[in-house]
Amino acid sequence: MAPDISPFNGAAWYVVFLFSTTVHEASHALVALKLGDDTAHRGGQVTLDPIPHIRREPFGMVIIPILSYIFSGWMIGWASAPYDPEWAHRNPRRAGLMAMAGPVSNLLLCLGAALIIRLGLYEGWFEAPMQIANVAHIVAAKMDAGGNAPVFAEFGAVLLSICFYLNLLLCAFNLFPLPPLDGSSIPLLCLSDSAAARYTAFMRTPGISIFGMVVAWQLFGQVAPALYHAAVQWLYPGLYHF
């Protein structure tokens, strides 16, 4: 897929990236608050306002996303929500639920975008493109008889395309069971307290987070194309052949 690097697409990418990342971290913070840890709440992260999240991680929320778009045509970055490690140690299952809140929120955003796309196709607002050139054009605005589409409809189609695919990637990537990704906390949901304590201690081994991120990134490079093809086939059953 060829990247489409333009101010129009760049604005759409950043809007979706900022919103999706903010929802992810706010979900961590909200679930932690509900389960007894108010650390992120006191830091102002139980909010859909992106400013507190940008203040905490300006490099991952602003600089890297913009640079990655300029050089690759899509955005990567990161954010974080603080939590009390002592609370997590005392409540491993609650810590596991807190970790899962982020990927679940991205899955819901992906499904929400898919629902709006399908509704738009049914209502005639959107149409399946003749060929999907890149992930920003998974769905297209419906053209009129003159071959034109309203600018707001085009921008909406790009926003929904990116929201669908980016949140699918964020959910899948964060579910890799490797530190420091959220998926590494999945075992906490079923381990005994003593086993969870040993597992958590192992996960804090110096250097293991760097190792985990390198391995996850390499593996995801192999998984992402298949995930993309499966997602498009699910959205448009039988329409595209890869």
- The Cα 174–Cα 106 span in angstroms is 10
Could you give the residue numbers annotated as active site?
A: 25
| Residue type at 238 in one-letter notation | G
Q: Which pLDDT score, from 0 to 100, does residue 240 have?
A: 74
Measure the N-to-C terminal CA separation of the chain; round to a whole number of Å: 12
- The Cα 229–Cα 42 span in angstroms is 42
Q: How wide is the angle at C-alpha 20 spanned by C-alphas 78 and 224, nearest 5°? A: 70
Q: Which pLDDT score, from 0 to 100, does residue 115 have?
A: 97
Strands of the chain, DSSP E:
126-127, 140-141
Other C-beta atoms closer than 10 Å to the C-beta of 3 total: 15
pLDDT in tens, 108-156: 999 999 999 999 999 999 999 988 878 999 999 988 777 777 788 899 9
- Average pLDDT along the chain: 92
Other C-beta atoms closer than 10 Å to the C-beta of 239 total: 10
Confidence of residue 242 (pLDDT cuts 50, 70, 90): low
How much is the pTM?
A: 0.93
* Chain centre distance of CA 72: 18
Q: Which residues contact 122 (CB under 8 A, 6 or more apart)?
A: none
